[in-house]
Amino acid sequence: MADVLDYKKKYKELYLPKTTPAIIDVPEITYAAVDGKGDPNDESGEFGKAVELLYGILYAIKMSKKKQNTPEGYFDFVVPPLEGFWTVENKKDVMDKSKFLWTAMIRLPEFVDKKIFEWACNEVLNKKKINTENAKYTKITEGLCVQCMHIGSFDDEPETIEKIENFIEKNNLVNDINNERRHHEIYLSDFRKVEKDKLKTVLRIPVRGKI
């Protein structure tokens, strides 16, 4: 039986950091992504629809091995975890989830090019009747960041962020969050099934050296 690639296991430095902050240089990664705004906890909001769309695309790609024309270079894989970039237009709104601006995304396997991505979107549209016009194929190079594993409720993330900020200061770095480089989260737990105090989330902050 052929091996099934699990990105979390192959790239532990990206997906399984320790609960103490550390520096990482993140390479270029290709994603299926959807931009949106609003409270991610709103059951009728954009975020839940974006997540459904992304998983639909990834599963269409995964199951393409059963199609007559299997994509060139195909390898089987565990669908990578959901990720998100987060920001707000005004810093004063950082605690108001209804003002969140986000990009929900899932890593794409290396054999997926734009043509395969568009095929997968058509599969989702035709078979699941889900509108795919907001899905995009994108490559992101995050570069130098500080990250840390957060265990617990999303509402308790400020405690871990403070640890990261202290680490940044002690290592002569600067928080480099801006319009292009955003707060990044990787969701290792299914928040619909896992108790809040056991949720595992990678928190990643872009940084640069002090001038």
Look at residue 104 in the predicted model and tell me its pLDDT.
98
Look at residue 2 in the predicted model and tell me its pLDDT.
60
Question: Rounded to a whole number, what is the distance in angstroms from the first to the last CA of the chain?
Answer: 53
Look at residue 98 in the predicted model and tell me its pLDDT.
87
pLDDT-derived band at 1 (thresholds 50, 70, 90) equals very low
Token representation of residue 12: 């532990």
Tens of pLDDT, residues 122-155 = 999 999 999 999 999 999 999 999 999 999 999 9
Look at residue 128 in the predicted model and tell me its pLDDT.
94
Task: For the chain, give the mean pLDDT.
Answer: 94
| Contact present, 58 and 137 (Cβ < 8 Å) | no
Tens of pLDDT, residues 148-202 = 999 999 999 999 999 999 999 999 999 999 989 999 999 999 877 889 999 999 9
Domains recognised in the chain with CATH numbers? 7-209 (3.20.80.10)
**Is 121 exposed, middle or buried (CB count within 10 Å of its CB: 0-12, 13-18, 19+)?**
buried
Beta strands per DSSP E along 90-152: 101-107, 135-151
Tens of pLDDT, residues 85-118 = 999 877 776 768 888 999 999 999 999 999 999 9
Distance of CA 87 to the CA centre of its chain: 14
Tens of pLDDT, residues 18-33 = 999 999 999 999 999 9
Tens of pLDDT, residues 50-99 = 999 999 999 999 999 888 788 999 999 999 999 999 998 777 767 688 88
Token representation of residue 160: 């871990």
Question: What's the pTM?
Answer: 0.94
